[in-house]
Amino acid sequence: MSLHTVEPEIATGQTAALFTATHRALGVIPNLARVMANSPAVLKGYLGVVTTLSTEGTLPAQVRESIALLVAQENGSDYCLSVHAFRGTRTAGLSAAEATGARRGKADDPWAAAVLELAASTVRDRGTVADEQLTAARRAGLCDEQIVEVIAHVALNVFTNYLATAARVEVDWPLVRHTDWTNAPSARSAPSVRSAPRIRRTTDSTTKAITLPTSVQVLPLQHVSAAEAIAWHQVVQASTAHDLPGVPTPDLGQIQAQLTRPALGSRRLMWLATRTDGVPVGVASLRVFTSAGQEHLAELDLHVDPAHRRLGTGSLLLSAAVAACRAENRRSLIATAPADGPGEAFSGRRGFRRALALSHLVLRLDDTDGADLLRISEAEHPGYRLTGWTGTVPDGLAASFAAAKNAMNDAPVGDLDYGSVAWDADRVRAMAAVVADRGDTLLTVAAAHDSGAMAGYTEIVIPHGAPPRVQQYDTAVVPEHRGHGLGLWVKAAMANRLRAEHPGVTEIETDNADDNVHMLAVNHRLGFRPYRRTCELQLDLDLPST
């Protein structure tokens, strides 16, 4: 009989707060933490000790994970072995060979080897460490402070091993068994937990087990192959169709360009989750911003095939992304999800908060009064004239256009820790190159002032393949030129341009922050109508990695 698990969805009070702290510290709320939550005092104490040892202790992450692997192997704890095999190789930097060696108490580095010898003696002899062992540890360079920490880590891992085994905790990490190699060291103190990865769902007093047909592995992608792009597209297509019915899904070419082409002011980290039989079940892409003013920020795009949800895949992907954020010293992780949908619920249970609400609107050009659009775009605005281009801004306008782009820095962003971006001529050219490199078409209409300054602009991107729906990019008016109707003017001119130059385009999709009252009024005046709602979610990475 297993112990009860406390589900985060129904947790309240101190337990809910502890789950939030658990997720912020670990990037996931593992099943073992859900068992610990039967006693909030135990969970609180465990988190406190782990956090303190990792942030104030002297042992590096690789050594801490090596101790955990050794102790889990000695105790035959498949659950903890699975946890630390994943964390050791994915977040602490151990190679697969080093992780396997740690399970045997071996390490190439003499100092780390001495640590493992001391840890092995501690766990095997139940703390009765011989004088010779202490002498050998000191001779290898360990001070008494480090010796105490080694023993503390052994004790902490013995606790989690025993609890995981006693509670029959279901393995919610990529499964590693203590019997995985021939001539493996024998487990000494406890039978192994059940090896098939399963997840319990608890409702009131009824417990139902859901058996996973196969375990899931999460693999980082360095150079995306054609097969991996196809797998990625398969997951995104299924996820989008389920969560956003009626929203056009990106085609394979768009997905491949997104994964393989460079982005502006950022680089991309990617993970693919598959079953052991190779079937793709989830994907995650982390955009790590590199521009000055946004070096604290990362943006996550995560999808799980609906047929494989609620089985831990999303949590594994999120854990990998959060670990990467911490390695990159990011303080904020943001993501977009349909408002009040499963993505927001999933994120909320894992410490994200809603930081910005967005309304998506669509202008259907076929249903729009063309004469009205023409009147707006042909109205006189003394001191201003319309100009436009396709792709890269003309050299003579690059500097003034870059100055206008900086007007986006005062756009409403709610509580998002979005930072700011400094635009110059090189950056606007680089942005156009990125759009062109992925096969999309960038259109710009701008209002130029008689002084030579760029007063306002609007941008549209036509995705590769010329689908009927195009995407609104930035629309901004420089502060000193506001109040002259320039935003309405350039957007109406863009709609007329699309009708004349791209007759296959029938819809424009845009999004506005709910508190961007002025731009919402402009869009409604042009005929944009509400379509769907999304939200920007933010995870504050204010706790150190453990």
Long-range own/partner contacts, residues 208-212 (CB < 8 A, 24 or more apart): 209/170, 210/310, 210/311, 212/311
| Better pLDDT: 86 or 147 | 147
Which residues, other chains included, contact 255 with Cβ-Cβ below 8 Å and sequence gap of 6+? 229, 232, 233, 236
The CA–CA distances, whole Å, from 109 to 49, 103, 150, 216, 227 equal 27, 15, 16, 32, 39
pLDDT tens per residue across span 457-498 = 999 999 988 889 999 999 999 999 999 999 999 999 999 999
The HSE-up count of residue 287 (CA atoms within 13 Å, CB side) is 19
In sequence order, what are the residues at sequence separation of 6 or more whose Cβ sits closer than 8 angstroms to the Cβ of residue 87?
65, 323
Torsion of CA 262, 264, 269, 274, to 10 degrees: -70
Asked whether 392 and 429 are in contact (CB, 8 A), the reply is yes
Q: What is the pLDDT of residue 16?
A: 82
The reported pLDDT for the residue numbered 407 is 86
Percent share of the chain, pLDDT over 70: 91
* pLDDT confidence bin for 181, thresholds 50/70/90: low
- The three state secondary structure string of 392-442 is CCCHHHHHHHHHHHHHHHHCCCCCCCCCCCCCCHHHHHHHHHHHHHCCCEE
Give the pLDDT band (50/70/90) at residue 26: low
Length of the chain: 546
Strand 266-275 versus strand 280-289 pairing type: antiparallel
d(C-alpha 35, C-alpha 3), whole Å: 7
pLDDT at 205 over 60: no
Confidence band of 65 (pLDDT split at 50, 70, 90): very high
Q: How many helices (H) and strands (E) does the chain have?
A: 18, 14
* Mean pLDDT, residues 61-86 taken together: 93
Q: 64 falls in which pLDDT band (50, 70, 90)?
A: very high
Please determine, for residue 194, whether its predicted confidence score (pLDDT) is greater than 80: no
pLDDT above 70: residue 21: yes
Angle (CA) 262-328-88 rounded to 5° is 110
Q: Are 169 and 32 in contact (CB under 8 A)?
A: yes
Closest CA to 457 of 404, 400, 410, 393: 404
Distance between CA atoms of 514 and 314, rounded to whole angstroms? 29
Query: How close are the terminal C-alpha atoms of the chain, in Å?
Result: 31
Would you state the pLDDT for residue 191?
Answer: 27
Phi-psi region of 348 (alpha: psi -120 to 50; beta: other; left: phi over 0): alpha
Q: Is the pLDDT of residue 91 over 90?
A: no
Of all residues in the chain, what percent are helix, strand and coil, respectively (each to 5)?
45, 20, 35
Q: Please identify which residue in the block is written with the tokens 């001191």.
A: 383
**441: buried, middle or exposed (CB in 10 Å: 19+, 13-18, 0-12)?**
middle
pLDDT band with cut points at 50, 70 and 90 for residue 35? very high
CB burial of residue 387 (10 Å; 0-12, 13-18, 19+): middle
At residue 293, the pLDDT reads 93
C-alpha–C-alpha distance, residues 32 and 160, integer Å: 8
Q: Is 351 exposed, middle or buried (0-12, 13-18, 19+ CB in 10 A)?
A: buried
Question: What confidence tens digit (pLDDT) does each residue in 262-317 have?
Answer: 889 999 999 999 987 788 999 999 999 999 999 999 999 999 999 888 888 898 89
Report d(CA 86, CA 78) in Å as an integer. 12
pLDDT in tens, 372-395: 999 999 999 999 999 999 999 999
What SS3 class is residue 301?
strand
Which whole number is the average pLDDT over 513-524?
Answer: 90
Residue 216 has pLDDT above 50, yes or no: yes
pLDDT at position 58 over 70? yes
Beta strands 507-513; 469-477: pairing state: parallel
Picking from 14-28, 45-59, 205-219, which range would have the lowest pLDDT averaged per residue? 205-219
Q: Mean pLDDT highest for which of 90-99, 211-220, 394-403, 410-419?
A: 394-403
If DSSP states are collapsed to H, E and C, what string results for 441-510?
A: EEEEEEEEECCCCEEEEEEEEECCCCCCEEEEEEEEECHHHCCCCHHHHHHHHHHHHHHHHCCCCCEEEE
Contacts with 412 (C-beta within 8 Å, 6 or more apart), sequence order: 356, 513, 515, 516
Residue 426 has a pLDDT of 95
What values do phi and psi take at 199, rounded to 5? -130, 130
| Residue 61: predicted pLDDT | 86
Kindly report, residue by residue over 244-258, the tens digit of the pLDDT: 888 888 888 888 888
> pTM higher than 0.85 for the full model?
no
Nearest to 94 by CA among 74, 118, 112, 78: 112
Amino acid 9: pLDDT: 66
Beta carbons of 73 and 103 less than 8 angstroms apart: yes
The pLDDT of residue 214:
45
The torsion angles phi and psi of 39, rounded to 5 degrees, stand at: -120, 100
Torsion angle of the four alpha carbons 118, 123, 124, 127, in this order, in degrees rounded to the nearest 10: 80
**Mean pLDDT, range 224-247, rounded to an integer:** 90
Is there a contact between 446 and 425 (Cβ–Cβ < 8 Å)? Answer: no
Does pLDDT of 53 surpass 60? yes
The pLDDT of residue 188 is 34
CA distance 215 to 275: 6
**What is the predicted pLDDT for the residue at 25?**
63
State yes or no: pLDDT of 56 exceeds 50. Answer: yes
